[in-house]
Amino acid sequence: MEAEKILTGVSISKGIAIGNAVCSKKKCEKELVNIPTEEIHNEIKRFRSALEKSKKDLQRLREKSISNGEIDIAEILDSHLEILQDPFLTEMVESKIKLSKQNIETVFQVIIQEYKKHFSKDPIFKERVTDFLGLSTRIVSYLQPIKSKKIVFSKDSIFVAEEIMPVDIMENQKKYIHALISQEGGKTSHSAIIARSRGIPYVADIDVRLLENCQKVVVDGNCGIVVINPSDKTIEKYNSLQKELEEKYKKLQKKISYKNCSQNNINVYANINEPYDIEKFSQQDIDGIGLFRSEYLLIGKNDFLKEEEQVNIYLKIAEKIKDKPFVIRLFDLGGDKIFKLVDDCFSSPNPSLGVMGIRFLLKHQEILRGQIRAIIRANVYNNIRMLVPLVTDIEEILELKQIITEERENLINRGFSISNKILLGCMIEVPSSAILCDIFVKEVDFLSIGTNDLSQYLLAADRNNIEVRHLYSSCHMAVLRLIGSVIKEGIKAKKEVIICGELASDPRLVQLFLELGATSLSVSCLDIHMIKDIADKVFLKPRKS
């Protein structure tokens, strides 16, 4: 037996699992196959038949997901169905078959390579490439059913692959796949969303070649660690830790009262990406929504949402939580969130320092004004707040406030009944806004610290770049000092400061932030009870005023 080895990767989904490695073999690219002209019609017919069978597969999976209450997975399957039902895709594939006189398997390889070339650097479009790759594999499996070999999972399987496709998880029950390990993959991928939804531990950035000949594996999704060929002592340690975490989580779910949090006015808000996320909460679970990433509404869309569509979405969420805060971040586009909806998203050679956040919105005011009107109209319960992304200069806030005033008057003149003023917040996620926050805080009602981007810009290290990821550390002293100074200015101005990003759910730092004077944290759904419990224990006595 080979010696135990610890591999360090990136945590995608928390949890601990011990099981047997099931490795996905890298698929060999098929040789280019030319077809005679008279066979083109039959090749297109084969493609259409496989396409219809694939659609039926996805519809079956979608219905199963809805019946199991897995609404987020059903939404992902909807986006996959959109791809297969897109006439542009069908026309493009059939056109390539006719022009190249090559078989459908070859055509798919060409299209995927073209997609990768154009969109591999962008996380959102890279995810679309991954989706398309998974869908094309499904279609090809119907074209070559004999050659296609499906991976068989048994109990306690830990799936290992260069890249995890959503279908790899969706088509298998949780009792079979206990954890996931991949070489590629990010926290915003569809596979990551499904893994977190099902509570499956997942670690990425692992050299999967090292797992090809091992059997027993430990996946520590909490720390981003994979242990191959674990010793009996290591297995015993993780078995104990696994039971301890499971018992603790069950207790936290049952706990309703957090008296010390209430006495000290500490809020633990939820971060949400989609409207259906709110269905996961009961009234006592959360103190409000601290961050609704509205740009996620645009993924897979060919156009921006109309004003009426936005009103309905925001109103539904606001109604669900009523007397609790609902923070909507204005469309945060550009940088690592590139959309085809506006051409100049692609024009910058360095998009992370280009037209993004509030810069993008002020440049495209028809988009900004439409969203502002929708938010104002949806605020019938007076609980909606507006959050401005990537502010670097006070002039941006002043210009935005003028636009809000104009659109408010516009709605009143059109006969809309407008509720009280909406609270306006500023995201502190670049060094300039953090340094000048004493000026910013006078012009807004609250501040929200985006710890992920603040760390990235402060340390000049792209957290998605494997070459410099080791330099990216949200726990860096410079980052913590800057966060402390922002909290201090918020206290001085008597304005709420919300801590967002990965640091807000880091158990090591929650106590530090609260002791610095922070009163609000906004975290992912799965971390709410854990953070509330930690915050409740920080102040065993009421905080002195």
- Residue 506 tokens, joined: 């880091």
**Given 364, 500, 525, 529, the catalytic residue:** 500
CB atoms within 10 A of CB 70: 19
- Residue ending a domain, among 232, 253, 286, is 232
Burial classification of residue 473, based on how many CB atoms lie within 10 Å of its CB (0-12 exposed, 13-18 middle, 19 or more buried)? middle
Please tell me whether residues 128 and 158 are part of one structural domain. Answer: no
Residue 134 domain-assigned?
yes
Please tell me whether residues 462 and 330 are part of one structural domain. Answer: yes
- Rounded to whole angstroms, the Cα distance separating 292 from 275 reads 9
Please tell me whether residues 309 and 281 are part of one structural domain. Answer: yes
**Given 80, 178, 190, 364, the catalytic residue:** 190
Q: What is the DSSP letter of 337?
A: B
- Which ranges constitute the DSSP H helices of 37-149? 40-67, 71-85, 87-100, 104-119, 123-143
Residue 300 domain-assigned?
yes
Instruction: Give the distance from CA 464 to its chain's centroid.
Output: 14
Between helix 477-493 and helix 451-459 the angle, nearest 10°, is: 130
Annotation marks residue 118 as catalytic: no
The domain spanning residue 121 has which CATH number?
1.10.274.10
Q: What is the pLDDT of residue 134?
A: 77
Q: How far, CA to CA in Å, does 229 sit from each of 69, 170, 181?
A: 37, 28, 15
The answer to whether 271 and 505 are in contact (CB under 8 A) is: no
Q: What is the DSSP string of 377-425?
A: HH-TTS-EEEEE-S--SHHHHHHHHHHHHHHHHHHHHTT----SPPEEE
Please tell me whether residues 386 and 524 are part of one structural domain. Answer: yes
Please tell me whether residues 85 and 17 are part of one structural domain. Answer: no
- HEC string for 236-304: HHHHHHHHHHHHHHHHHHHCCCCHHHHHCCCEEEEEECCHHHHHHCCCCCCCCEEEEEHHHHHCCCCCC
Total domains, the chain: 3
Please tell me whether residues 532 and 394 are part of one structural domain. Answer: yes
Please tell me whether residues 498 and 531 are part of one structural domain. Answer: yes
Q: What is the pLDDT of residue 349?
A: 57
Residue 247 domain-assigned?
no
Q: What is the pLDDT of residue 71?
A: 63
The answer to whether 166 and 76 are in contact (CB under 8 A) is: yes
Q: What is the DSSP letter of 212?
A: T
Please tell me whether residues 338 and 430 are part of one structural domain. Answer: yes
Write out the residue range of the structural domain in which residue 513 sits: 265-538
- Rounded to whole angstroms, the Cα distance separating 80 from 58 reads 8
- Residue 238 tokens, joined: 């993780």
In which residue are the tokens 């992920």 written?
A: 452
Please tell me whether residues 19 and 62 are part of one structural domain. Answer: no
- Rounded to whole angstroms, the Cα distance separating 317 from 380 reads 11
Residue 465 domain-assigned?
yes
Q: What is the pLDDT of residue 345?
A: 47
Q: What is the mean pLDDT of each run of 10 residues along the chain (545 residues)?
A: 85 90 66 80 89 88 73 74 81 88 84 69 61 78 60 79 79 75 78 80 91 88 92 93 81 65 84 79 77 82 86 94 94 64 52 83 95 96 96 96 96 89 95 96 97 89 66 81 96 96 85 91 84 78 50
The domain spanning residue 218 has which CATH number?
3.50.30.10
Instruction: Give the distance from CA 217 to its chain's centroid.
Output: 27
- Half-sphere exposure at residue 84, Cβ-oriented, CA atoms within 13 angstroms: 27
Residue 260 domain-assigned?
no
- Rounded to whole angstroms, the Cα distance separating 63 from 375 reads 33
Q: What is the pLDDT of residue 338?
A: 45
Annotation marks residue 190 as catalytic: yes
Residue 148 domain-assigned?
no
Q: What is the DSSP string of 459-485?
A: HT--TT-TTTGGG--TT-HHHHHHHHH
- Residue 473 tokens, joined: 């550390």
- Cβ-Cβ contacts under 8 Å for 467 (sequence gap 6 or more): none
Q: What is the pLDDT of residue 447?
A: 97
- Rounded to whole angstroms, the Cα distance separating 207 from 193 reads 22
Q: What is the pLDDT of residue 168?
A: 73
Residue 213 domain-assigned?
yes
The answer to whether 495 and 446 are in contact (CB under 8 A) is: yes
Residues pairing with 423 in the sheet: 385
Sheet with 225-228, strands from edge to edge, namely: 5-8, 225-228, 216-220, 16-23, 157-161, 177-182, 202-204, 10-13
Longest CA pairwise span in the chain (Å): 85
The domain spanning residue 285 has which CATH number?
3.20.20.60
pTM: 0.70
- Cβ-Cβ contacts under 8 Å for 202 (sequence gap 6 or more): 11, 12, 13, 164, 179, 180, 181, 182, 185, 191, 192, 195, 196, 219, 221
- Residue ending a domain, among 232, 250, 282, is 232
Please tell me whether residues 345 and 473 are part of one structural domain. Answer: yes
Please tell me whether residues 211 and 283 are part of one structural domain. Answer: no
Please tell me whether residues 173 and 274 are part of one structural domain. Answer: no
Q: What is the pLDDT of residue 465?
A: 62
Q: What is the pLDDT of residue 525?
A: 78
Q: What is the pLDDT of residue 375?
A: 97
Residue 162 domain-assigned?
yes
